[in-house]
Structure 1
Amino acid sequence: MTQIALIFGSLFGLTAVIFGAFGAHLLKKKLTSDQLQSFETGVKYQMYHGILLLVLGFNLKTSTAFDNSMMYAFIIGTFLFSFSIYGLVISSANHKKLKFLGPITPLGGLFLVVGWALLIWKFFFPY
């Protein structure tokens, strides 16, 4: 599982840099300031959780079901949260808003909250 965390952490970091540059340079002229701010929120959360996955991947010595659940919560949460924001913002800028993505963003946020709660639990009850 640590290998998967390292791979996804690296992929999230790589794509966050690409999407950040894309937003700052190409989308800046197409998006409103609110849309650009939303897009940047997706990029920030993706980068933060990419770094977190790298730190956990390098530091976790075990691969228990608990650790795997925590890692998957961060991976799934980051993907759902950030990528749904990208889809919402870009589709809205093209006047074809993909409304089905709206409920996916908070679901991704919920996965991220669960991942953080599991990390806190691990600190209090290490095994």
Structure 2
Amino acid sequence: MQTTNLFLSVLEFAFLISLSLSPQSLPLSQPLAPIISKEAEATPTWFRRTTKKGIKIKSNQSRKERTRQIEAQTFLDMQKLSRIHEQRRRKKEARKQQETSSPPPVLQVKNNLKSALC
């Protein structure tokens, strides 16, 4: 009888502990933070390692190879930017050239009317 009561009290205690550890009892402010951090630790380092420019770094690359890769990507980015700036500058110059070479059509019509009336 005493062992049965002890067994039931142990079962009841285990049941209460399992209820306290259930996901529904977790506070909503921090529901899965420990689980997510453990998953982040479990991801391989080669998957997480990227530079500021988003260049993926392989773990078996030497430091020189990484530096060359980053410099090459930076150089290509700078070339692309310089091309974009050059195109914008050319468009702006062409627009200015067109405005100075011939007046807008509305002004031409006004000038033609003035000369016809005089």
TM-score norm. by structure 2 comes to: 0.32
**Higher helix fraction (1 or 2):** 1
TM-score norm. by structure 1 comes to: 0.30
Relative contact order, higher structure (CA 8 A, sep 6+): 1
Higher Rg: 2
